[in-house]
Amino acid sequence: MGSQIQLTSADGHTSFAYLSQPQGAPMGAVVILQEIFGVNSHIRSVADRYAQAGYLAVAPDMFSRAAAQTQLGYLPEDVKEGALLKAKVEALGGLASGDIRAAIEYVKHAGKLGVVGYCWGGLMSWRTACSPVGIHAAVCYYGGGIASQAEIGKTPLVPVMAHFGEQDHLIPMTDVDAIEATHPQVLVHRYASGHGFNCDQRASFNAECAAVAAQRTLAFFEQHLRG
């Protein structure tokens, strides 16, 4: 179902992405933004699930400007390496957003566009929702940093849904409270789970919460991408 493609950003930077095709004509497109572990087998499986739901799904390599095609697991040393790569990409400023834009451009022919991100990707999904890049909806899974001073004052230009775990050791519920208070139009859902509850390769995986969040996300995209 999936294949590797090449993207070209506006500054000429080339990178790889994972593209997953639906059966039949796509009913829209979804850009999947990775955690700090790269476009690994889990992120590819997420893209495949969106393709199974009828969307053309693409997961760009957001590490391409620091260490292209890096794929990590979930051991402590992987977390450390992923955090370092994230810091390197963040230090580049808006170039990462340009790489997301390249993915958007690649799949925009499929119809209306959604973006969904996980952890670091959740923050990037928020940033994308606040930028005039031609998407129609965004979903943020446990996006750390959205409540920071640099981010919370931004205004989403499209409908946004956000998922957070109530036992998340990285994102306090006071941050979620702040997001809800500042942006009442954002659909915020809380789950009896920890950080990374959607990833079935992590110890923090919560199948029940992941299923509910997926159902809500698909209904959200159906409303905004197929309407």
Q: Going from the N-terminus, what domains does the chain have, and what CATH number goes with each?
A: 2-225 (3.40.50.1820)
Using DSSP, state whether 162 is helix, strand or coil. strand
Q: Which two tokens stand for residue 79?
A: 């977390």
Q: Which two tokens stand for residue 40?
A: 């690994």
Q: Which two tokens stand for residue 97?
A: 């957003």
158 half-sphere exposure, CB direction, 13 A CA radius: 28
Q: What is the pLDDT of residue 93?
A: 82
Catalytic position from the list 61, 119, 199, 209:
119
Burial of 113 (0-12, 13-18, 19+ CB in 10 A): buried
Q: What is the pLDDT of residues 112-169, one digit of tens each?
A: 999 999 999 999 999 999 999 999 999 999 999 999 999 999 999 999 999 999 999 9
Q: Is 195 among the residues known to form the active site? A: yes
Q: What is the pLDDT of residues 54-78, one digit of tens each?
A: 999 999 999 999 999 999 999 999 9
Share of the chain above pLDDT 70, in %: 99
Burial of 216 (0-12, 13-18, 19+ CB in 10 A): middle
Overall average pLDDT of the 182-190 stretch: 98
Question: What's the mean pLDDT when you consider all of the chain?
Answer: 96
Biggest CA-to-CA distance, the chain: 44
Task: Please state, in angstroms and rounded to a whole number, the distance separating the CA atoms of residues 37 and 57.
Answer: 19
Instruction: Look at residues 213, 211, 200, 194 and name the one whose alpha carbon lies nearest to residue 41.
Output: 200
Catalytic position from the list 42, 163, 195, 224:
195
Catalytic position from the list 61, 168, 175, 224:
168
Q: Is 168 among the residues known to form the active site? A: yes
Overall average pLDDT of the 188-211 stretch: 95
17 half-sphere exposure, CB direction, 13 A CA radius: 30
- pTM reported for the whole predicted model: 0.95
pLDDT band of 227, cuts 50, 70, 90: low
Handedness of CA 55, 122, 133, 82 (dihedral sign): negative
Q: Which residue has the tokens 């390249």?
A: 102
Residues 6+ apart with CB under 8 A from 226: 27, 28, 112
